[in-house]
């Protein structure tokens, strides 16, 4: 019996009915219709977005019917904003340590030659590319999306010349599908890992100068060889090739600079070698704001100003209270009938007051001028973005080693302090897209742009309770249910009040023990003090702590001041009766990666 081949119509029908695999379905996003959503922060302009093939294809009237074949998302009550761009992050990239020696051992019997081949390359690896080591975890990409971020610049760090950054989107996919630009900036800092020379600022500066001189010489050798002039063929050197792109001005060098002197040092190198500079960090950028504006420089602010320093200046309400005189209490000469007069209790109370007075006499209080200076320094660091904006310096924001949610929270703080909300939004969206070279794809809600945006339940720049309902990245959606904020209250019977003795596990000369005294309110709010030994010697250091208890989870924050140095401390722990089991994080503002230690705590009997 002869079998007939099925017709083309039957083949197409069977193919359409066959279920696609998850991998096949993920290659192409579905068509979407976002209906009746607000297209500005004020909620005045509304429309309907049509998404196809990962792009915004049309913006229709808010009452327009959804096109056939599109999945509808009701946008009523939501705010549609371009997805934010994290313009500087160290997440998702592990940087290898540079190889110092990159040649054969020197021949001691050979003549001395003028060459850069045997140079010490500690801290120098501009040829490294973050895209080749990109490893963004599921948790990292989700954290970005939950805070409304659609793309991030993944930058290497920790070396004088760390390599080239890559721009990646935040959706969950294979690494090859995330990369928008494989090489964006070269990155530099006045730091180098490992022992040996260089290990000081003077050495770092000399090392950079020598490498840039070597890069210029490599360009000259290649030019002579191309012209057929006498001389050996120049060796291939990936680091020198990357250095040549810097000294010829073909690639921007994004330099980490927090102190005002750092800006001036980088500027001197730029003038000597013709470098094209950008800056990241920017703690004291306000000191050189006029020079930055004159040069048209861009500053990536990481907003790492540390935990807020308590303001020692008296408030207006406190002054009013001071003017009120307390009325003297009238005391009866004789006890009223039924009242017990206990001389022993009175003596005990008097003795307790004397003991408290003696203890207070030994407690060190910082002078008012010191506390005020620390507060003013913190305010200047916080308000740096305001001063740069007033001077006309273009600024964008980056999370560095922090969390995307912390970056957004700090931007909100700037808006409260006086930074115009529209200016802050521009720094997170289209200004950042222009800085990163993707201004034709990201940063705006317009037809032809990538479907990379967020649907918010409230204005994210002015409302602390704002949360993301949907995020679209390259047209792929992520929906987030509204979560209860921390501090929902403690579970029944949970009370963190009391005096706790903490023991920290870990090697080194850090904090080993601490005394934590807490008072808990009914809603779970915590206040108290943390007292630790000073690792540098001297009196114990005490800091005010604050936090909250949610269910049986405790979270506290404080800042320990050791002389001119300060460390931000975060404590998270699980409370079980009179025992704590948790984790501590220590971070210096503007410093390296935070360090973590586990700890246990035991409550002293009442």
Average pLDDT score over residue span 17-32:
58
Sort strands 84-89 and 394-397 into parallel, antiparallel or unpaired. unpaired
The Cα–Cα gap between 76 and 460 comes to 17
Check residue 491 and give its pLDDT: 85
Average pLDDT score over residue span 428-441:
96
Check residue 8 and give its pLDDT: 36
Check residue 75 and give its pLDDT: 92
When pLDDT is cut at 50, 70 and 90, the band that residue 361 belongs to is low
Least confident piece of the model among 75-84, 478-487, 579-588: 478-487
Check residue 9 and give its pLDDT: 39
Least confident piece of the model among 69-73, 123-127, 349-353: 349-353
Check residue 164 and give its pLDDT: 96
Average pLDDT score over residue span 454-474:
95
- The CB density around residue 441, as the number of other CB atoms within 10 Å, is 16
When pLDDT is cut at 50, 70 and 90, the band that residue 443 belongs to is very high
**Per-chain mean pLDDT for the chain:** 85
Output the pTM of the full model: 0.74
* 577, pLDDT greater than 60: yes
The DSSP element (H or E) to which 354 belongs, if any, is helix 343-362
Structure tokens of 594? 């935070």
Check residue 21 and give its pLDDT: 35
Average pLDDT score over residue span 312-326:
62
List CB contacts of 473: < 8 A, sequence separation 6 or more: 83, 145, 150, 151, 169, 170, 171, 452
* Residue 116 DSSP label: S
Bigger pLDDT: 202 or 532?
Answer: 202
Least confident piece of the model among 2-11, 90-99, 453-462, 529-538: 2-11
Bigger pLDDT: 316 or 79?
Answer: 79
Longest dimension (CA), the chain: 125
**What's domain 498-603's superfamily in CATH?**
Quinohemoprotein amine dehydrogenase alpha subunit, domain 2 (2.40.128.120)
List CB contacts of 335: < 8 A, sequence separation 6 or more: 341
* 507, pLDDT greater than 70: no
The Cα–Cα gap between 142 and 265 comes to 38
* Residue 441 DSSP label: T
pLDDT tens-digit map of 542-555: 889 999 998 888 99
Least confident piece of the model among 486-495, 544-553, 595-604: 486-495
Nearest CA among 558, 568, 553, 549 for reference residue 516: 558
Q: Which residue has the tokens 């913190």?
A: 378
The Cα–Cα gap between 490 and 493 comes to 8
The Cα–Cα gap between 426 and 438 comes to 14
* 200, pLDDT greater than 70: yes
* Residue 564 DSSP label: T
Bigger pLDDT: 334 or 310?
Answer: 310
pLDDT tens-digit map of 213-271: 999 999 999 999 999 998 888 888 899 999 999 999 999 999 999 999 999 999 999 99
* 178, pLDDT greater than 80: yes
Domain spans in the chain, listed from the N-terminal domain onward: 498-603
Distances (CA, A) of 333 to 11, 293, 330, 336, 341: 108, 76, 9, 9, 12
When pLDDT is cut at 50, 70 and 90, the band that residue 510 belongs to is low
The Cα–Cα gap between 26 and 462 comes to 35
* 278, pLDDT greater than 70: yes
When pLDDT is cut at 50, 70 and 90, the band that residue 14 belongs to is very low
Average pLDDT score over residue span 526-550:
84
Identity of the highest mean pLDDT range in 119-133, 325-339, 436-450: 436-450
Give SS3 for 264: helix
Bridge partners, residue 572, by sequence:
555, 583
Structure tokens of 46? 């509304």
* 606, pLDDT greater than 80: no
Average pLDDT score over residue span 148-163:
96
Check residue 194 and give its pLDDT: 87
Check residue 423 and give its pLDDT: 95
* 408, pLDDT greater than 90: yes
Tell me the H-state helices in 227-342.
Answer: 238-247, 260-273, 289-295, 316-323
List CB contacts of 596: < 8 A, sequence separation 6 or more: 583, 584, 585, 586
* 23, pLDDT greater than 80: no
When pLDDT is cut at 50, 70 and 90, the band that residue 345 belongs to is low
Average pLDDT score over residue span 351-372:
74
When pLDDT is cut at 50, 70 and 90, the band that residue 541 belongs to is confident
- The CB density around residue 592, as the number of other CB atoms within 10 Å, is 11
């Amino acid at each position: 019996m002869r079998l007939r081949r099925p017709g083309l119509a039957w083949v197409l029908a069977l193919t359409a009915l066959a279920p696609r695999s998850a991998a096949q379905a993920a290659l192409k996003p579905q068509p979407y219709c976002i209906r009746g959503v607000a297209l500005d922060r004020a909620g005045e302009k509304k429309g309907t977005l049509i998404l196809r093939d990962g792009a915004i294809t049309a913006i229709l009237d808010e009452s327009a019917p959804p096109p056939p074949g599109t999945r509808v998302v009701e946008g009523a009550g939501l705010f549609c904003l371009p997805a934010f761009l994290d313009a500087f992050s160290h997440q998702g990239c592990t940087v290898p340590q540079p190889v110092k020696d990159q040649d054969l051992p020197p021949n001691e019997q050979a003549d001395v030659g003028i060459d850069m081949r045997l140079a010490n390359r500690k801290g120098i690896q501009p040829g490294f590319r973050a895209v080749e080591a990109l490893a963004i975890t599921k948790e990292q990409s989700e954290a970005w999306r939950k805070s409304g971020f659609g793309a991030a610049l993944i930058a290497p760090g920790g070396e004088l010349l760390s390599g080239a950054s890559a721009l990646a989107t935040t959706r969950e996919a294979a690494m090859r599908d995330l990369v928008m630009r494989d090489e964006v900036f070269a990155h530099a800092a006045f730091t180098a890992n490992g022992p040996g020379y260089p290990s000081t600022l003077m050495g770092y500066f000399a090392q950079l100068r020598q490498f840039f001189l070597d890069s210029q010489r490599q360009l000259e050798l290649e030019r002579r060889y191309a012209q057929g002039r006498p001389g050996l063929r120049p060796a291939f050197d990936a680091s020198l090739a990357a250095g040549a792109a810097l000294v010829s001005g073909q690639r921007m060098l994004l330099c980490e600079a927090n102190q005002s002197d750092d800006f001036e040092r980088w500027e001197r190198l730029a003038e000597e070698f013709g470098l094209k500079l950008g800056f990241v960090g920017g703690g004291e950028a306000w000191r050189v704001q006029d020079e930055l504006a004159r040069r048209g420089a861009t500053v990536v602010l990481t907003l790492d100003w540390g935990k807020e320093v308590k303001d020692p200046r008296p408030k207006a309400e406190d002054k009013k209270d001071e003017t009120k005189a307390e009325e003297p209490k009238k005391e009866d000469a004789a006890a009223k009938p039924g009242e017990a007069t206990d001389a022993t209790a009175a003596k005990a109370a008097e003795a307790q007051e004397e003991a408290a007075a003696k203890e207070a006499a030994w407690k060190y209080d910082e002078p008012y001028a010191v506390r005020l200076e620390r507060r003013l320094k913190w305010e200047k660091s916080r308000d740096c973005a305001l001063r740069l904006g007033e001077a006309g310096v273009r600024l964008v924001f980056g999370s560095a080693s922090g969390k995307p949610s912390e970056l957004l929270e700090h931007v909100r703080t700037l808006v409260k302090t006086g930074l115009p909300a529209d200016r802050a939004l521009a720094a997170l969206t289209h200004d950042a897209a222009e800085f990163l070279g993707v201004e034709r794809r990201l940063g705006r809600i317009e037809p032809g742009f990538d479907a990379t945006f967020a649907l918010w339940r409230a204005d994210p720049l002015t409302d602390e309770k704002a949360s993301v309902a949907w995020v679209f990245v390259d047209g792929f959606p992520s929906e987030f249910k509204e979560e209860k904020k921390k501090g929902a209250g403690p579970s029944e019977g949970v009370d963190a009040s009391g005096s706790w003795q903490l023991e920290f596990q870990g090697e080194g000369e850090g904090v080993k023990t601490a005394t934590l005294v807490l008072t808990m309110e009914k809603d779970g709010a915590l206040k108290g003090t943390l007292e630790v030994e000073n690792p540098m010697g001297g009196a114990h250091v005490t800091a005010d702590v604050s936090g909250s208890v949610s269910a049986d989870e405790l979270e506290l924050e404080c800042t320990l001041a050791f002389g001119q140095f300060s460390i931000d401390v975060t404590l998270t722990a699980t409370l079980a009766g009179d025992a704590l089991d948790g984790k501590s994080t220590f971070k210096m503002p503007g410093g390296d990666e935070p360090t973590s230690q586990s700890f246990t705590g035991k409550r002293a009997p009442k």
